């Protein structure tokens, strides 16, 4: 590679710090950076200035106005454009010797398969999505490419280098799952704003505009968990009634602009609440909700029974001053949100931070329902799911949650607050992103040098005395269901190769090194789908394509005896020059030779430490008192060093300490424990 003019002067500082060997290698290094958000922008700037020669930047998102306070590669003129494309264009000016290839796409798309990952020397993760992070972790393990994983949460952050068989992977330590709420709390008895927001986002929006799924499964599970049977029965009736509402939203747009929205409103905020009020027992110990009236709210005559609205006067709840907005219909709310209202008097009245009155929430509800219904009717989208950057879904969730909060006497939230809560957003700190990005590059240098002993898991902590914590990497968890699997890739034509051919080819004949394990009983899965097992072989003669097992997916070949590691077989495509006369697949060489699973060690049961409080719990019947004792000639003797107060406390708990095993016990109520 010819050194461009002036590059030696530009890279002289890197050579002095990194040494000639590593600095000379950087221009040829191929790095994949996944994510161009808060961490991604800082990280892209760092690796460009460090001199990484070939950078592929991949991100699915577009730029939102709220990104500009911390993602410094973007400007206001870039809003709504691809993050990857804009970031690559901006960062290219920092170092003309670096080649940046932007990709606006989803890392989970099938074309980004194992072979695609193998072209990179290192992968750097800058994602905020748990599923995507797990996917990249698995793909890097399968491709044998080192990964640097990272994340931030406010002032906290972490960097984790991952190398197969040398360091624990992203899934070696279980991740906490997002908090969930009981179904009946969300659907019937909310008491906090988050309950109403979760209801609007995870229940109402999918019911109206999501896939037409049977909602009975969630209710069946709630019933198994012992939730109120009467409430469950009422909720089942609601689910049936929703079918008519869904049909009205998908009907040709012959209704007036508010008719479809009014049908939804009447069903959700009036009929459903009246049905709940009919169950008197439910409201004996809690405040009952108030059914909302569409026309009364618009006319300014609706009186909230218990109001936490901004006007706080407990009377008619309508505009901010008790009067309806001058502009008709949803136009008034659009003006309010876009800053055209005369009520915009201070910086606190920014679009998303305004507190909406009840009538504003109603008009926003009508406007968002009509916009979402139009998207469904257009045929371009069969289902719509919540996205914090989708204005239509965010408006719908904001308005629906606030209307429900009004009905239940719960304080309402601004559009910005709803976005934070519904999108599980933790405020991002630009300084934390900058620190984490620098630490990622340091770990990347260690990986490129293969200085595995220098790798560290680094945590940014909210502790002034020790803001950074660097810990030596841990070995992989023997029970990890990801990195302890045996990864391989088969190149094939899914339309021609059968499941049986794949299984037989991967298992091999077991004769000689690299010839596989030989035939054995296995079960085969694709994600959570069972495709075959020793007692069910109906799919063995079907092609992979007919089973929807195509490029980018994995087949899990599980040993039926549980003795050998699972084989994770990635599906790739045949090279263009593969002859049609040859078998429609190319097996990996050598064939996978899974190791025997490590049996978990049985730890000896150790007695719990003695309690430190003044009260002692009564011992189990099978327990022997754990006082200081020694065993001489098979006789259990108790240490005589107990103080009188200690003996008294033991006696209060029903234990009498004796000096010798043959002591006389005259009390008939005493049970001797051998």
- SS3 string, 237-277, reads HHHHHHHHHHHHHHCCCCCCCCHHHHHHHHHHHHHHHHHHH
What would the mean pLDDT of 362-384 be, rounded to a whole number? 89
CA distance 318 to 359: 5
**Residue whose structure tokens are 């992989």:** 476
Has 248 been labeled as part of a binding site?
A: no
Q: Per the structure, how many domains does the chain have?
A: 4
pLDDT at site 672: 55
With b for 16 or more beta-carbon neighbours within 10 A and e for fewer, the 433-459 pattern comes to bbbbbebbbbbbbbbbeeeeeebbbbb
pLDDT confidence band for 328 (50 / 70 / 90): very low
pLDDT at site 4: 53
Q: Could you tell me the CATH number of the domain that includes residue 357?
A: 1.10.10.520
Within this chain, do residues 465 and 491 fall inside the same structural domain, yes or no? no
Within this chain, do residues 379 and 520 fall inside the same structural domain, yes or no? no
Has 354 been labeled as part of a binding site?
A: no
Q: Is residue 2 a part of any domain in this protein? A: no
pLDDT confidence band for 42 (50 / 70 / 90): very high
Within this chain, do residues 112 and 260 fall inside the same structural domain, yes or no? no
Has 208 been labeled as part of a binding site?
A: no
Within this chain, do residues 432 and 408 fall inside the same structural domain, yes or no? no
- Structure tokens that stand for 265 in this block: 């409103």
Has 217 been labeled as part of a binding site?
A: no
| Residue 637 in this model has a pLDDT that exceeds 80 | no
What would the mean pLDDT of 347-371 be, rounded to a whole number? 82
Q: Minimum mean pLDDT among 227-241, 330-344, 425-439, 563-577: which range?
A: 330-344
> In 10 A of CB 621, how many CB atoms?
7
Q: Minimum mean pLDDT among 208-212, 224-228, 293-297, 338-342: which range?
A: 338-342
Has 573 been labeled as part of a binding site?
A: no
Has 650 been labeled as part of a binding site?
A: no
Q: Is residue 122 a part of any domain in this protein? A: yes
> In 10 A of CB 482, how many CB atoms?
19
pLDDT at site 85: 96
pLDDT digits (tens, 9 = 90+) for 263-321: 899 989 998 888 888 877 777 777 889 999 999 999 888 877 655 444 333 334 444 33
> In 10 A of CB 498, how many CB atoms?
19
| Residue 242 in this model has a pLDDT that exceeds 80 | no
Within this chain, do residues 327 and 308 fall inside the same structural domain, yes or no? yes
- pLDDT over 70, % of the chain: 74
Has 210 been labeled as part of a binding site?
A: no
Q: Could you tell me the CATH number of the domain that includes residue 446?
A: 3.40.50.720
Within this chain, do residues 108 and 21 fall inside the same structural domain, yes or no? yes
Has 339 been labeled as part of a binding site?
A: no
- pLDDT over 90, % of the chain: 48
pLDDT at site 632: 45
Q: Minimum mean pLDDT among 253-257, 389-393, 502-506, 512-516: which range?
A: 253-257
| Residue 337 in this model has a pLDDT that exceeds 70 | no
DSSP letters for 363-422 = HHHHHHHHHHHHHHHTTS-S-----TT-HHHHHHHHHHHHHHHHHTT-----HHHHHHHH
**Residues annotated catalytic, as ranges:** 184
Q: Is residue 229 a part of any domain in this protein? A: yes
> In 10 A of CB 545, how many CB atoms?
14
Top mean pLDDT of 130-144, 240-254, 285-299, 594-608 is at 130-144
Has 391 been labeled as part of a binding site?
A: no
Write phi, then psi, for 303 (nearest 5 degrees).
-115, 120
Has 500 been labeled as part of a binding site?
A: no
What would the mean pLDDT of 213-237 be, rounded to a whole number? 60
Query: Which of 385, 405, 422 delimits the end of a domain?
Result: 422
Has 151 been labeled as part of a binding site?
A: no
CA atoms within 13 A on the CB side of 60: 11
Within this chain, do residues 342 and 401 fall inside the same structural domain, yes or no? yes
Has 154 been labeled as part of a binding site?
A: no
Sheet strands side by side (includes 30-34): 99-104, 54-59, 30-34, 122-125, 147-153, 156-162, 456-460, 468-472
590 preceded by cis ω (within 30°)? yes
* Residue 547 contacts residue 622 (beta carbons within 8 Å): no
With b for 16 or more beta-carbon neighbours within 10 A and e for fewer, the 331-353 pattern comes to ebbbbbbeeebebbeeeeeeebe
Q: At what angle do helices 38-50 and 83-92 cross, to 10 degrees?
A: 30
Residues with Cβ within 8 Å of 174's Cβ and at least 6 positions away in sequence, in order, are none
| Residue 217 in this model has a pLDDT that exceeds 60 | no
Instruction: Tell me what the pLDDT averaged over the chain comes to.
Output: 81
Has 129 been labeled as part of a binding site?
A: yes
Has 201 been labeled as part of a binding site?
A: no
Has 35 been labeled as part of a binding site?
A: yes
Has 480 been labeled as part of a binding site?
A: yes
Q: Is residue 605 a part of any domain in this protein? A: no
Contacts 24+ apart (CB under 8 A), 422-429: 422/197, 422/198, 422/200, 422/201, 422/386, 422/388, 422/394, 422/397, 423/388, 424/178, 425/388, 426/153, 426/154, 427/154, 428/38, 428/70, 428/152, 428/154, 429/70, 429/152, 429/154, 429/155
DSSP letters for 9-35 = HHTHHHHHHH-HHHHHHGGG-EEEEE-
Q: What single-letter DSSP state applies at residue 653? A: T
Q: Is residue 373 a part of any domain in this protein? A: yes
* Residue 297 contacts residue 358 (beta carbons within 8 Å): yes
| Residue 540 in this model has a pLDDT that exceeds 90 | yes
| Residue 585 in this model has a pLDDT that exceeds 70 | yes
CA distance 537 to 34: 40
Within this chain, do residues 200 and 320 fall inside the same structural domain, yes or no? yes
pLDDT digits (tens, 9 = 90+) for 83-93: 999 999 999 99
| Residue 213 in this model has a pLDDT that exceeds 80 | no
CA distance 196 to 410: 9
What would the mean pLDDT of 340-353 be, rounded to a whole number? 50
| Residue 239 in this model has a pLDDT that exceeds 80 | no
What would the mean pLDDT of 145-150 be, rounded to a whole number? 97
Residue range of the domain that includes 544 = 486-586
| Residue 584 in this model has a pLDDT that exceeds 90 | yes
Within this chain, do residues 100 and 72 fall inside the same structural domain, yes or no? yes
Q: Could you tell me the CATH number of the domain that includes residue 500?
A: 3.10.290.20
pLDDT at site 179: 67
In this predicted model, which residue has the larger pLDDT, 70 or 624? 70
Has 19 been labeled as part of a binding site?
A: no
pLDDT at site 246: 81
Q: Is residue 572 a part of any domain in this protein? A: yes
In this predicted model, which residue has the larger pLDDT, 467 or 672? 467
pLDDT at site 35: 94
pLDDT confidence band for 39 (50 / 70 / 90): very high
Within this chain, do residues 31 and 97 fall inside the same structural domain, yes or no? yes
- SS3 string, 126-153, reads CCCCHHHHHHHHHHHHHHCCCEEEEEEE
> In 10 A of CB 321, how many CB atoms?
10
pLDDT digits (tens, 9 = 90+) for 545-568: 999 999 999 999 999 988 999 999
Where does residue 4 rank: exposed (0-12), middle (13-18), buried (19+ CB within 10 A)?
exposed
Q: Is residue 478 a part of any domain in this protein? A: no
What would the mean pLDDT of 18-44 be, rounded to a whole number? 93
| Residue 622 in this model has a pLDDT that exceeds 60 | no
What would the mean pLDDT of 60-89 be, rounded to a whole number? 90
In this predicted model, which residue has the larger pLDDT, 129 or 571? 571
Has 132 been labeled as part of a binding site?
A: yes
Q: Is residue 409 a part of any domain in this protein? A: yes
Residues with Cβ within 8 Å of 586's Cβ and at least 6 positions away in sequence, in order, are 490, 491, 492, 574, 578
pLDDT at site 606: 62
- Structure tokens that stand for 449 in this block: 């040098």
pLDDT digits (tens, 9 = 90+) for 186-212: 777 888 899 999 999 988 998 888 876
| Residue 332 in this model has a pLDDT that exceeds 60 | no
Has 38 been labeled as part of a binding site?
A: yes
Within this chain, do residues 233 and 276 fall inside the same structural domain, yes or no? yes
DSSP letters for 409-474 = T-----HHHHHHHHTTPPPP-HHHHHHHHHHHHHHHHHHHHT-GGG-EEEEE-S-TT-SEEEEEPP
Has 196 been labeled as part of a binding site?
A: no
pLDDT at site 600: 65
CA distance 427 to 436: 16
Has 97 been labeled as part of a binding site?
A: no
* Residue count of the chain: 674
Within this chain, do residues 464 and 542 fall inside the same structural domain, yes or no? no
- Structure tokens that stand for 256 in this block: 């007036």
pLDDT digits (tens, 9 = 90+) for 76-121: 999 889 999 999 999 999 999 999 999 999 999 999 999 999 999 9
| Residue 70 in this model has a pLDDT that exceeds 80 | yes
């Amino acid at each position: 590679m010819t050194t461009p003019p002036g590059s030696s002067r530009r890279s002289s500082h890197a050579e002095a710090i990194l040494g000639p060997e590593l600095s000379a290698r950087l221009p040829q290094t191929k790095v994949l950076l996944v994510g161009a958000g808060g961490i991604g922008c800082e990280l892209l700037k760092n690796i460009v200035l460090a001199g990484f020669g070939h950078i592929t930047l991949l991100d699915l998102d577009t730029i939102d106005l709220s990104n500009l306070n911390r993602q410094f590669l973007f400007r206001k003129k870039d809003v709504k454009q691809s993050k990857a494309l804009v970031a690559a264009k901006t960062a290219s000016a920092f170092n003309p010797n670096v080649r940046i290839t932007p990709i606006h796409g989803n890392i989970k798309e099938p074309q980004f398969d194992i072979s695609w990952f193998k072209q990179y020397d290192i992968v750097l993760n800058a994602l905020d999505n748990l599923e995507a992070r797990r996917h990249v972790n698995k793909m890097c393990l399968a491709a044998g490419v080192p990964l640097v994983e990272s994340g931030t949460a406010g002032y906290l952050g972490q960097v984790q280098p991952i190398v197969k068989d040398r360091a624990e992977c992203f899934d070696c330590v279980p991740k906490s799952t997002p908090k969930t709420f009981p179904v009946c709390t969300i659907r019937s008895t909310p008491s906090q704003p988050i309950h109403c927001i979760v209801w609007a986002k995870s229940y109402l929006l999918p019911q109206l505009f999501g896939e037409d799924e049977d909602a009975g499964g969630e209710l069946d599970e709630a019933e198994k968990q012992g939730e109120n049977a009467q409430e469950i029965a009422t909720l089942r009736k609601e689910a049936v009634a929703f079918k008519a509402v869904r049909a009205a939203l998908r009907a040709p747009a012959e209704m007036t602009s508010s008719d479809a929205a009014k049908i939804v409103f009447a069903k959700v905020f009036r009929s459903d609440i009246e049905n709940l009020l009919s169950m008197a027992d439910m409201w004996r110990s809690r405040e009952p909700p108030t059914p909302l009236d569409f026309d009364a709210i618009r006319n300014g005559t609706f009186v909230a029974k218990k109001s936490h609205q901004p006007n706080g006067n407990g009377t008619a709840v309508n505009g901010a001053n008790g009067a309806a907005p001058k502009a008709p219909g949803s136009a008034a709310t659009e003006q309010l949100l876009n800053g055209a209202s005369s009520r915009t008097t201070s910086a606190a009245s920014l679009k998303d931070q305004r507190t909406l009155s009840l009538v504003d929430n109603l008009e926003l509800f009508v406007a968002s329902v009509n916009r979402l219904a139009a998207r469904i009717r257009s045929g371009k989208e069969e289902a719509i799911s919540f996205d914090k950057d989708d204005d239509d879904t965010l408006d719908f969730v904001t308005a629906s949650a606030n209307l429900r909060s009004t009905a239940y006497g719960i304080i309402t939230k601004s559009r910005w607050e709803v976005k934070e809560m519904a999108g599980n957003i933790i405020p991002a700190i630009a300084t934390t992103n900058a620190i984490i990005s620098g630490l990622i590059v340091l770990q990347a240098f260690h990986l490129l040098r293969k200085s595995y002993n220098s790798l560290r898991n680094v945590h940014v902590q909210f502790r002034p005395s020790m803001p950074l914590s660097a810990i030596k990497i841990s070995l992989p968890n023997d029970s990890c269901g990801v990195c302890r699997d045996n990864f391989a890739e088969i190149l094939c034509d899914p339309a021609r190769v059968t499941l049986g051919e794949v299984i037989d080819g991967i298992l091999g004949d077991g004769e000689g090194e690299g010839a596989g394990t030989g035939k054995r009983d296995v079960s085969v899965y694709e994600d959570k789908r069972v495709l075959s097992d020793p007692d069910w072989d109906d799919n063995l003669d079907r092609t992979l394509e007919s089973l929807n097992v195509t490029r980018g997916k994995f087949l899990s070949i599980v040993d039926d005896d549980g003795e050998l590691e699972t084989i994770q077989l990635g599906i790739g495509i045949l090279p263009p020059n593969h002859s049609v006369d040859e078998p429609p697949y190319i097996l990996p060489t050598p064939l996978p030779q899974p190791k025997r699973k490590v049996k978990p060690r049985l730890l000896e049961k150790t007695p719990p430490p003695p309690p430190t409080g003044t009260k002692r719990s009564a011992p189990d019947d099978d327990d022997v008192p754990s006082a200081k004792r020694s065993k001489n000639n098979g006789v259990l003797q108790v240490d005589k060093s107990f103080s009188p107060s200690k003996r008294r406390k033991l006696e209060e708990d029903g234990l009498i300490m004796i000096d010798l095993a043959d002591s006389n016990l005259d009390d008939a109520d005493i049970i001797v424990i051998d």
